[in-house]
Chain A
Amino acid sequence: MPQRNDDVTRRRFLRDGLWGACLAGIGGVAGFAAHKGQKVDWLWQIDPYKCTACGNCATHCVLEESAVKCTHVYGICGYCEICFGFFDPEPFDIHEGAENQMCPTGAILRKFVEEPYYEYTIDRPLCNGCGKCVKGCNAFGNGSLFLQVHHDRCENCNQCAIAAACPAQAFRRVPADQPYLLKSVDHV
């Protein structure tokens, strides 16, 4: 019986030691992470200079309708009359009819500015992030249309499903206080 008691105290001692070690371990990990930690959250964003507009953004988002949408930087736009982000690669006619438009949801609006310039704007609610216009604009235009994760819709998953499926590895985490990676005119 005394032997048994010995046993119990030894076991208790061992257990207490382990318990302390675990607590210290959690504290250590938390302390290390906290000293490196940051106040703001991370968000997912697309690097427009890496994106190839492959079309995965429209299909791989966990939302029924992707959080990725087309974004337009007007300063880069050439305001072309024949915009290959707007028109089919081989438009039958330079006319806004559905038969000539590239956008499957009709989310690009075109407005005459002055001869020979047209302004193109994205109707955000309609855009589904398929990237067809981005592809056309990058291949034949100035590349002023590009895809971005729009944070009013983004669920900010810990592992973005599109990022995992992005062939160009164009997704990266950005701090929440700089939520967008917009193209700029003087990109080098």
Chain B
Amino acid sequence: MNEPSVAYRTVRTTAKVAGTFTVLFLVLLVGNLIGTTVIGPLREDRLAAMKVALRGGDPTDEQLAEIRQLDLQIRRNRVWRLDFAHKTGHALLASVVVLLVAGRLMRVLNRRPPQPQNALDVGAEQLREARVSRWAVTAGLVVLGGGAAMLVMVGAPLAFVAAEETGPAYASREDKRLQWHRFRGPDGAGVSIFTNIPTEWDGATGKGILWKAAVPLPGNNSPIIWNDRVFLSGATEQKQEVYCYDADLGRLLWTGDVPISPAAAQARIDPMEDTGYAASTMATDGKRVYAIFVTGDIAAFDFNGRRLWYKSLGVPDNAYGYASSLETHQDRVIVQYDQGHGDEDVSRLYALDGASGRVVWEVKRDVPNSWTSPVVVEIEGRLQLLTLTDPWALANDPADGAEIWRADCLGGDVAPSAIYAGGLVLAIEPYSHMVAIKPTGQGDVTKTHIAWTMDEGGPDVCCPVSDGQYAYLLESHGLIMCCRLADGEKVYEHDLRDNFTASPSLAGGRLYFLGMDGVMTIAEAGPEYKELGKNELGEKCHASPAFVDGRIYIRGLENLYCIGGAVAGDRAD
């Protein structure tokens, strides 16, 4: 063993130094990586927390200076770290090159002459090599086969439905007939096709009341029902929520949150107290539910409470607070978005795609704010989307928004929505008159298709209801007016001596009038007033009741009530 040469020692030392530097640069790079991925985010969190803390009050100049200082520090640090990584990377590359060159030189200086391997029995050796290699390949086969077999046994988590007919992604109009999918039920007419609706209950004793459930946030919107679920919404200035209750048990199944858009938060919307923050009734297409609030924020949820999308339609410019309810058509949600004073080009009628919230079509309308709700009804085999504004009663095609007809017959603050009954569209101008329009025209039908006008006043809030022969009007201070559909002649008047905001409804030939004190007056439909009874709920009620097979759902100011039997009739599933 002789001493290594000077050259060899020099190279060896170089290799050691280069190796040390390589390790050093690697450590620096890893440290930098940790700095960017761990320490950086911590700082950013601190900045975010400081920003949030600002919102509360009136910050001092020191606080602001501190935030700006931290922000600057974060930015500088980011640039510095990028630069550092870049330079260190190059330095690392250089040191690795030196290390490699030195390592090679060491090999060259220390080169041993080529040495054949130990002479074995070459033939036997080759046979052995081939045999072991075959086993190795076989082992590979076993590993692959075993792995594949295991994966097949476990089964891939892949279970989506094949593209067979899964049916349409929304409920048909026939399905909706059996539900209460929107404000005032099918067609928004306030008419239930069920005849087994309860007629007797008492809030004080609980007689006839299946369940009662507290509703977390207030709202004047009405409950809607789809099979075994009841939906309604509530809101305050700080929060907007959607609730889903089990229709049989009254359990709150889920609560959906709808964020308040920054623009609305900025605008500090302050609706009239009678309107509140959640005046618009929700709507469902059987697959999804939709809710809109006084802020113009609209959201969609699936039946399991997952929010599918939400968006702002812009802060509505509305005198009393936005209150139009939603309607669904196929898998779209229809929004009547009237606002302003009629000359700013801000009122719209929207159809949004239920799955995504995208605008499928929109119609601009030169009308001021209104408080009516859109309805989609079938008229002589054709669907029409009816909306009432000032001054127009309008019909559009729900497929593409194209206008079908319009009639100039209204004015002022329009609130009662249109109904379609006995071949006529009924529209009310509050305190003034009711018109009946034959909905078979095209274009402006003001002069041609108005069947009759009844100008002995009209309700200011409640929508009319009709049994096909008579229309029943309810004014908010309790006066019932009954008119013949054929010619608009008034048949009777009756004063209920109560105050009303809920619209009248009709089920099994009986009229249901829900007063603000929670008293439900039931009367027989027909050309004269025949009272059948009164039922007290014991809670104030502003919202219209909902009717499905054997049950009535009533929203009080604080609770939701289900009136009727424990077993609902045959549900259309």
Contact = CB atoms under 8 A, between A and B. Distances in A.
Direct contact of A and B (CB under 8 A): yes
Interface string A39-57: 0000000000000000000
A118 to B, nearest CB: 16
A93 to B, nearest CB: 9
30 contacts: A64-B85, A64-B86, A82-B263, A84-B262, A84-B263, A88-B51, A89-B262, A90-B265, A92-B51, A92-B54, A92-B55, A97-B64, A97-B67, A97-B68, A98-B67, A98-B72, A99-B51, A99-B59, A99-B67, A99-B68, A104-B74, A105-B78, A106-B71, A106-B75, A128-B78, A139-B311, A140-B261, A140-B262, A140-B263, A140-B312
B24 interface: no
Nearest to A80: B263
Interface residues of B, number: 24
Nearest to B266: A82
Contacts of B64: 97, 99
Contacts of B68: 97-99
B71 to A, nearest CB: 4
A104 B263 CA distance: 22
A119 interface: no
Contacts of A64: 82, 85-86
B54 A99 contact: yes
B55 A90 contact: yes
Question: Which 9 residue pairs spanning A and B have beta carbons closest together?
Answer: A98-B71, A92-B54, A98-B68, A99-B67, A89-B262, A64-B82, A92-B55, A99-B51, A64-B85
Interface in A53-99: 64-65, 82, 84, 88-90, 92, 97-99
Contacts of B265: 90
Given A82-B263, A84-B262, A90-B262, 9 more contacts: A64-B86, A82-B266, A92-B51, A98-B67, A98-B68, A99-B68, A104-B44, A105-B75, A140-B261
Contacts of A89: 262
Interface residues of A, number: 17
Contacts of B71: 98-99, 106
Contacts of A105: 75, 78
B59 A92 contact: yes
Nearest to A82: B266
Interface in A98-146: 98-99, 104-106, 128, 139-140
A98 B59 CA distance: 14
Contacts of B78: 105, 128
A128 B36 CA distance: 14
Nearest to A126: B75
Interface in B30-82: 44, 50-51, 54-55, 59, 64, 67-68, 71-72, 74-75, 78, 82
A38 B55 CA distance: 57
A90 B261 CA distance: 10
Nearest to B59: A92
B82 A65 contact: yes
A139 to B, nearest CB: 8
A141 to B, nearest CB: 9
Contacts of B82: 64-65
A82 B265 CA distance: 13
A163 B26 CA distance: 29
B529 to A, nearest CB: 53
